[in-house]
Amino acid sequence: MTLSRRDFAKRSAFTGAGVVLAGSVGVLATAPGALATGTAAPAGAAGAGEPPRIGYGPLVKDPKGLLALPAGFSYRVITRTGVTKLESGQLTPSNHDGTAAFEGPRGATLLVNNHELGGARAKWPHPVPPVDGLVYDPAAAGGCTVVEVGRDHVAEWVGIAGTSTNCAGGATPWGTWLTCEETEDKAGKNGMTKDHGYVFEVDPRDRRANRDPRPVKALGRYAHEAVVVDPGRGHLYLTEDASGPNGLLYRWTPPSGFEHGRGRLRTLADEAGSLQAFKCFDSGGRFVDDLSRARKTGTVYGVDWVNVPDRDARSVSVRKQFKSGEVTRARKLEGMWWGDGGAYVVASFARDESPVPHDGQVWFYDPKRRTLTLKVILGVNKRPERDGAYDGPDNITVSPYGGLIVAEDGEGVQHLFGALDDGRTYPIARSELNIGSADKPEYSEFTGVTFSPDGTTLFANSQEPGIMFAITGPWRRQGGRRGNHV
């Protein structure tokens, strides 16, 4: 049963404010530059009646010029494009992106690592190698590798090849990875021989299960970014990173009688289940056209779901199939993570494509209440070259130590940072690898942030040239609720 605009407005009026509908709404406003309700205490401040100190202290410059970390922390380079090698002898592919960690054999960790490589294979020096039986489209450069990290060994092999622009994705409760193509290229465009813009399932433990890759067409064809699975209800939620017009948040409902499990998604018919786009309205029942209109953390919207007319976008892109007023849009819908009984959803930043500019939002969708709550909003960072401010959140994960860990894809200095539900933030890492020049420094975005299953290691990537880091140190509880991992 959907929550209608009238019902939402009625319940909001009864409680006195939309925020109350969601219970105790955590505020993850990130300063400086945050547009928040209330004032967050500065990191490190603590006194009588004040919140305890958070974070791990200032970041220490790295003599190797790769990763600045707090004192007591260290990193290990797991894979590096053009340097480390796959089991088959080829060099590690480039453009590391979305990643998830799974329990591996004999205490090892298995990571599935996306490689965001778009267009023809020939244009990339280090594409994903086309391993026999694992190729969807021989013309495409992208795909995933599986990385096994043990106490004294690292191994890497191809999980899927011949896909395009593998950006984010999501882990499933049954232990597989859903890799998402952030493209709408069809056969004949950019050298492709097959249509792209799909989701594929990759099994990190069973190499045979990855043979003969088949897109899960039931989830639609569009510029996919990330996906999460509701383990209780079976829904899949998917983000779209696109503009002109801005992208959408989608929900896929499985067909009656369908049971999730390893490899089950690839058995679905192309039109199986229902794919819908979200439509938001405020506590007064007014339609919300774009998520950028929310300016305060704690803002709560009701959500309805609208059927997608043609999920395979045979002639018109999915997001263009809706008229004005039919769906809610958002600029750069990016990372997602399932935790606390719902989906954390990133809207990375808004510029001229959106009604109101901002430098990042994180929302929480509660499927039980069918509400979307703004947890984080970043004001426009006017000096991105300076250290200290954050902008452009992208991949996220729920931390076993409380709050969220956010990978920054901003315009200047790049960070991994933590955000708590009481309004405070703290730095975890800063990229020090300059891929620009001395006069015009440039730092690659962070991607693929995820904890090992035992919570002792934080894995994260520097997208260019492509480096996977394993970060260890004196992790400790930072406050807020403990997240539930998928």
Query: Is 379 part of a structural domain of the chain?
Result: yes
Query: Is 368 part of a structural domain of the chain?
Result: yes
Query: Is 333 part of a structural domain of the chain?
Result: yes
Q: How many domains does the chain have?
A: 1
CA atoms within 13 A on the CB side of 226: 27
Joined tokens for residue 271: 């039109």
Number of other CB atoms surrounding residue 274 within 10 Å: 15
Question: What tens-digit pLDDT sequence spans the chain (486 residues)?
Answer: 444 444 544 444 333 322 222 222 333 333 323 333 223 333 334 444 555 678 999 999 999 999 999 999 999 999 999 999 999 999 999 999 999 999 999 999 999 999 999 999 999 999 999 999 999 999 999 999 999 999 999 999 999 999 999 999 999 999 999 999 999 999 999 999 999 999 999 999 999 999 999 999 999 999 999 999 999 999 999 999 999 999 999 999 999 999 999 999 999 999 999 999 999 999 999 999 999 999 999 999 999 999 999 999 999 999 999 999 999 999 999 999 999 999 999 999 888 889 998 889 999 999 999 999 999 888 888 887 778 788 888 999 999 999 999 999 888 899 999 988 775 789 999 999 999 898 888 999 999 999 999 999 999 999 999 999 999 999 999 864 444 332
Query: Is 140 part of a structural domain of the chain?
Result: yes
Q: For residue 258, what is the domain's CATH number? A: 2.120.10.30
Query: Is 484 part of a structural domain of the chain?
Result: no
Query: Is 148 part of a structural domain of the chain?
Result: yes
Q: How far is C-alpha 445 from the chain's CA centre?
A: 13
Q: Supply the range of the domain harboring residue 350.
A: 5-44+54-472
Query: Is 486 part of a structural domain of the chain?
Result: no
User: Whose structure tokens read 């894979």?
Assistant: 79
Query: Is 479 part of a structural domain of the chain?
Result: no
Please count the residues of the chain: 486
